[in-house]
Amino acid sequence: MIRKIHLVLLRSACVALLVAATPATAQIRIKDLVEFDGVRGNDLVGYGLVVGLNGTGDGIRNAPFTEEIMSNILERLGVNVTGEQFRPKNVAAVLVTASMPAFARSGGSIDVTVSAIGDAKSLLGGTLVMTPLNAADGQIYAVAQGTIIAGGAAAEGEAGGVVQGVPTSGVIPSGARIEREIDFELASLETLRLALREPDFTTAGRIETAINQAFGRNVAVMLDSGTVRLDVDATRQRSPAHALRRIENIMIAPERKARVVVDQRSGTIVMGEEVRISRVAVSQGNLTLAVQEAPLVAQPNPFAQGQTVVVPRTAANIEEEPGIGLAEVPAGTSLSEVIAGLNALGVAPRDMIDILKSIKAAGALHAEFIVR
């Protein structure tokens, strides 16, 4: 029996001050950086039944709620099933979700997502029966119905099966019809708030300046790092909608935090343009510890009165692979120079994650380090 333990040795030193130049940032439209107060979607949810499945529905014994909703639907249609015993395999209980966009009007259609909540094996080919969709206030705002488009496939035999994708979830394009509108009077607002998706004082200040320059007077004011207030009357526009139309396409250069995001499961590393690394020296190498067990069994002679004894024998060996030596990562003044310095280490992406962690611990990585 051989046991191997791989250890990664990392040593960081020689940390110096970084002097970096601020890179130019691309111009982005204001509407791609903010959410307008009140102009948002609303989530809807409903509980329904899918029929027409090819024997891949819920097992009624394992999902009694499916039988209950099926009985309720049949009774509303005038079919009395009280006391009847039926065990169909072509029905499944599902949750139906949708998002109702801002300013959606009665009679419009929205997409819905259908997901099984019982032990159904597939929703492929099924039809969602008329299902009311409720908002957080408990009111019905839409009704969903239609044929489900499932995103996977499943097949099985007596000795095994195969599943590709997720056949227990699907969508119905334009599968819900809006029955009630959400009350929101945009035209009556005297002020509007712009909420930044990535709060930042510099970005909020640039939005304030750009809007005031576009109108030639003070119509916007920064309240905090995530909010800019717009005075609708000061814009001298016909309505708040006209004011938003004028400002949403104004271009500004947003300021973002320096971030390094790593995914340890896939070994993915993403670095923002603002990431900087001070001058630092890094050494990386692999240490392999091999322990081999070769027990020896000692048996007595056939006519002797001794006992069989197991004598343990262990062989241990340590091997160290040649590392990269002590490599210097120069102070980076741009993302390309940072990448070039890290690539000079010649290590795999997963080892690069450990190196970045060590550089961050040494105080040489000037960015927010996020591990997922």
Q: pLDDT tens, 83-103?
A: 566 667 788 889 999 999 888
Q: Looking at the predicted structure, is the pLDDT value of residue 12 above 50?
A: no
Q: Angle 206-209-213 (CA atoms, 0-180°, nearest 5)?
A: 140
Check residues 160 and 177 and name the one with the higher pLDDT: 177
Task: Give CA–CA dist 133/14, Å, rounded.
Answer: 62
User: Could you tell me the pLDDT band of residue 276, with boundaries at 50, 70 and 90?
Assistant: confident
Please state the rounded mean pLDDT for residues 100-124.
89
Give the mean pLDDT of 65-71: 71
Task: Choose between 333 and 204: higher pLDDT.
Answer: 204
Averaged pLDDT of the chain: 78
Residue 23 tokens read as 């890179």
Q: Which of 7-11, 110-114, 319-323 has the lowest mean pLDDT?
A: 7-11
pLDDT at 214 exceeding the cut of 80: yes
Considering only residues 343 and 276, tell me which one the structure prediction assigns the higher pLDDT: 276
Q: Does pLDDT of 174 surpass 80? A: yes
Residue 10 has pLDDT above 50, yes or no: no
pLDDT band at 230 (very low <50, low <70, confident <90, very high): very high
Greater confidence (343 vs 195) lies with 195
- Per domain, the residue ranges of the chain are 2-22+259-371, 42-178, 185-252
Q: Is the pLDDT of residue 238 over 70?
A: yes
**Can you read off the two tokens belonging to residue 66?**
């499916």
For 185-209, how does the pLDDT look when each residue is reduced to its tens digit (9 = 90+)? 788 888 889 999 989 999 999 999 9
Most confident of 146-150, 264-268, 319-323: 146-150
Backbone phi, psi, residue 161, to 5° = -160, 175
pLDDT at 66 over 60: yes
pLDDT at 7 over 50: no
The band of 365, judged by pLDDT with boundaries at 50, 70 and 90, is confident
Does the pTM of the predicted model rise above 0.85? Answer: no
Residue 170 has pLDDT above 80, yes or no: yes
Per-residue pLDDT for 138 more than 70?
yes
Residue pair 41/97 in contact (Cβ under 8 Å)? The answer is no
The reported pLDDT for the residue numbered 343 is: 74
pLDDT for the residue 1: 43
Cα–Cα distance, 150 to 114 (Å, whole number)? 9
pLDDT above 80: residue 229: yes
| Percentage of residues in the chain having pLDDT higher than 70 | 73
Helical ranges in the chain per DSSP H:
64-76, 201-215, 232-235, 240-247, 335-343, 349-361
> Is the confidence at residue 46, as pLDDT, over 80?
yes
Q: Is 61 helix (H, G, I), strand (E, B) or coil?
A: coil
Q: Whose CA is closest to 353, among 262, 277, 270, 274?
A: 262
